[in-house]
Structure 1
Amino acid sequence: MNSIGLFGARIANKFSCVLVFSRKLCEHSCGSDKIDIGFNGIEEQITKEWKKSDFDATAYEKPGFYDHRSSTEGNFRVRRSFLENVKFDAGRILDILQHDGPGFDSKTSLSELGIRVSGALVREVLLRILINIDYAKKTRCAKLGYKFFVWCGQQENFRHTPNSYHLIMKIFADCEEFKAMWRLVDEMIENGFPTTARTFNILICTCGEAGLAKRVVERFIKSKTFNYRPFKHSYNAVLYALLIIKQYKLIEWVYQQMSDEGHHPDILTYNIILCAKYRLGKLDQFHRLLDEMGTNGFSPDIHTYNILLHVLGKGDKPLAALNLLNHMKEVGFDPSILHFTTLMDGLSRAGNLDACKYFFNEMIKRGCMPDVVSYTVMITSYIVAGELENAQALFNEMIHKGQLPNVFTYNSMIRGFCMAGRFEEACSMLKEMESRGCNPNFLVYNTLVSNLRNAGKLSEAHEVIRHMVDQGKYVHLLSKVKRYKRC
C-alpha cells in the first residue's frame, strides 16, 4: 500500500482498510462498452444531494403571489384563477403566432390583446412551443418562439429571467438552430445574467451534432459569469453537470485540466471521478484515487462507500464487502439501507444469490427495514436464479408489510412468470399493477410482448399491444423518445 505520508499513522490506518478493498476490486475489470443500469442509482444519489442546495437558483422565477403555498381557501382560489388565466392567455397568444406570415403583423396583434406579460405566461407559452415542436417545420417553430420572446422583452415592467432564456435556448437546440442558441448565451451575459449549469447542460447536449463538447467545457471553466454556487469552483459544477448527462470521458479530461491549473479537488470531485472511472472500466485507478484522497486530507463519505460497495458486490467479493461495512461502523458511518441495497444489487448482478440473502438478513438485523428498492433487488435475484416461488413469497411479504411494488418490481415478476411459461399469470400481473395505480412503462410491455412472441403466443402478444395503444401509451412513448433522443 502506498504511504499516506503527510497525515501520519492515524490517517493511514483509517484508510488502509479501504485501500486494501480497492485493490481487491481492481482484480475484476468492467467492460466500458457495457451499460450497468444498477450504477445509475449511485450517480443519482450523488447528484440528488447537490440538487437540494442552492444550485442554479437563478434559473427559476422568484415566487410571486401565485406561488405562495397557503392553505387558506381564498388564496387557493386566487392562485387557481391566476393559473387558469395564464393558460387561457397562452392559448390566445399561440393562436396569433400560428397565423404569423407575410401581410400579418403578429407583434401588433399580440399587443392588441391587452395581456399583461408575466414570467408564468412566458414560461407557459414557451413550454407549449417546446413540447409541440413540429420537426418538419422546425425553423418556423424556432422563429415563432423567438418572435414571442422578443415581443415580451419589449413590454413595459417586464424583464426576462434566466429561466425564459433557457426555454428559448432549448427550443433553438431542438430545432437545430445552434448559432442562434449561442447568440442567446451572449445576450444573457450582456443583460447581466450569469450562465448556470442549466445553460451548460443545454449547450453540451447539442455537441453530438456540432462537435463542440470540449470547447463548451473550456468556455464554462474559464467564464467569470458562470454561476457555480454552491460548488467550490466552476470545475466541480462542470463535473457535476457532465455526470448528469453521462459524459464520462469528458469528466476525465476536465479533471486533468483542473489538476493542470492547480485547483485542488474535494470529496465531490473524487466521487464523480470514481463514478467516471467505474463507467469507463478503469477500476485499476481506484486505489490511486483513494491514496490521493487521503494525501489531500479527505475521508470517504457515504457516497464513496456506496461506490465501493457496489463494485465489490459486482466483483463477487462478499467478504471484503462485509469487512467494509464493519469498517464504516468503526469510523462513525452507520451503513444505511442504501448501502446494503447497493451491495445486494452488485451481488445480484454477479449471480451470488446466497450472498444477497445473507446481506438482506444482515440489513434487517442492523435495524434497516427493507424498502421497495431492496425488496425489488431480492425479488430480481430470485427470478434470475429461477426461484420463482421464493420471489412470489417475498413479493407477497412486501405488500403485507406495506411496501407497494413499483414498476421494476412488477417487471421482474412478469419476467419470472414468462421464464416459467406461466403466461396467464404474467398477463394477470400486468392487470394487477394497473389496478394498484402503477402505470406500466415501455420496459414492462416489452418484457411481456417479447416473451409471448418468443413462445409463439402471437395473439396474446397482439392483445397486449392493442391494450397499450388503447391506453394511449404507445403514442406517448414514441413522442417521448422523439423529444429526448438527441440528449
Structure 2
Amino acid sequence: MLKPSSSIKIPNFFLRKKRKWIRSPYKTRWHYLFNQQQALQTLKRSCLSSTPDSIVSQSPLKTPSYLLNCLINSFDSYQCDPTPTAYDFVIKTLIQKSQFNELNHVLSHLQNVEKMETPEWVFVDLIRVYGENGMINEAIDLFFRMPKFRCVPTVLSLNSLLFVLCRNRECLRIIPQLILKSSVMNIRMEESSYSILINALCRIGRIDFAIKLLNCMIFDEFDPDGKLYSMVLSSLCRQKDVTVTSFEVLGVWEDMKRGGFNPGKGDFCNVIKFLGRQGKGKDAFDVLCEMKRERIKPDIMSYTMALYGLVEEREFSRVEELFDEILIVGLVPNLFTYNVYIKSLCEQKKADDAYTMISCIEELGCQPNLITYNTVLEAFCKVRELTRVREVWSEMKRKSIEVDHHSYSLMIDALLIGGEAIEACKMLEEMLFKSFLPLFSIYDKIIHTLCQEGLTSEALHTLQLVSSHDVLPGSLSWKALVSVLNLNHDHTDTMLASLVN
C-alpha cells in the first residue's frame, strides 16, 4: 500500500528533474502563427475597403506609405511581426494599381527596418513584373540588392533577370557583365540559364553565338537536352544567309546524335529542307534515307526538298526513282513537287514531256501556276522552238495566268532568236505599258537586232520609248546606232537629239 506522501512527490520530482515550468496556453507557437494569420486578414480587409478617393484624401506625407501603414498597424494590433506573405500581398496590390513609387517605400522599409529573411520568390516575381513594365534598370538594381534584404540569391533569381534581359535585344549586351558579377555572388549558371540565353540568341538570328554557347555548356559539364539541340538546329536551318553552310548544319546534327539524342521528324525535315535549298542533293537524299531507316515516315515536303537538291546536282536518275517512290508510298504530290519534277524534265531538254506534264497535273486536280509555265516557256526558248513558245504563251493568256517581267523577257528573247524583231518591239511596248522594266540586256538585244536588220526607224522609236522611262541602253546599242549613223545620214539629226537627251 502506497503512502499518501508518495503521490505528492511525483510531480515535484518531475519539475525538479526537468527544470521546466508549465507554459501559458496563450503564448505557444501556434497562437503566434494564428495572430499573424489574423493580422494578414485584417490587412486584406483594409486594402479592399480602401478606395482611390480615400487614399488621395490622406495627407501628402502619408499617401506614399498608405498600404505600408496598413501593414504595420495590422500586425501591431496583434503584437506580432509582419510575414513575407503580407509583404508579398502589399507588393502585388501596388503592382495592380501601378503605384511603383509607393512600392519603393515598401521595399526600403523591408530592407532597413525588418529583420526577417525575405524569401527569394518575392524578388523573382518582382523582377518579372519590372521586366514586363520596361523597368530594366530597376530589375537589375533589385537583383544586386537582394543580399541587403537578408536573402541569398540563387540561379532562380538570375534566370528571372536573364529572361527579362533576353526579351529586349538592346539589353543583351548587358548579359556578359551580369554573368561575371553573378559569379562573384557565388551564383553558378545551370542548364536552365544556358537554355534561356541560347533561346534568345536563336530568336535574334545569332546562331553562331548560340553554337558557341552550346559548346561552352558542354565544356562546363552540362548535358544539353534534345529540345535544345532541336531549337539550335531548326534556327540554323531557317537562316537564309549564305554564310550558313551545310558543314555547320551537319556538325550540329552529328553532335546531337553523339549526345545520345534521336532526332525527331521535325529535325529530319528541317535538315532536308536546308540541304535542298543549298543544292546539296546527295546529302539531302542521305538524310532522307536515314529518316526512313529510323522508321519515320517522311512528309511530302521532305521528299520535295530532296528532289530539289537532286535536280540542282543534276542527279536525274535518282530524281526519277524518288518521284516514283512518292507515288508508291501513297503521298500526294503538291504543286511545288510537280514544279520541281517539271524543272528536272526541262533541265534534261525534255520540254515536250514537261509541257505534257502540265495537262497531267491538271487532271489530278492541281492547278499549275506562273512558275510552272515560266519553266516550260524557258525550256522551249532554249531549244528554239518558237511555235511551242507561242503555244504556251497563248495558253497562259487563255487561262488568265498573270505573267511577270520574267515571262516577257523569255518571250522577247525567243522572238529575237526567231527573227521576229518587230513582234519583239510590240512585246516590249506591252511590257512597259504594264510597268515591267526589263534588264538592260533586253534593250540592247532589241536595238542591236533592229539595226542589223536595217530597221533604223524602229530602232529609233525603241530608243525614244526606252528614254521616256528614264532608262538608257548599254554600249551594244550605241555601237549599233553609230554604225547605222555612218551608213545612213537621213536619221542623223534624230539620233543626235537622242544622244543629247
TM-score range, shorter chain: 0.3 to 0.5
TM-score (norm 2): 0.46
TM-score (norm 1): 0.47
When Rg is computed on C-alpha atoms for both structures, the one with the higher figure is 2
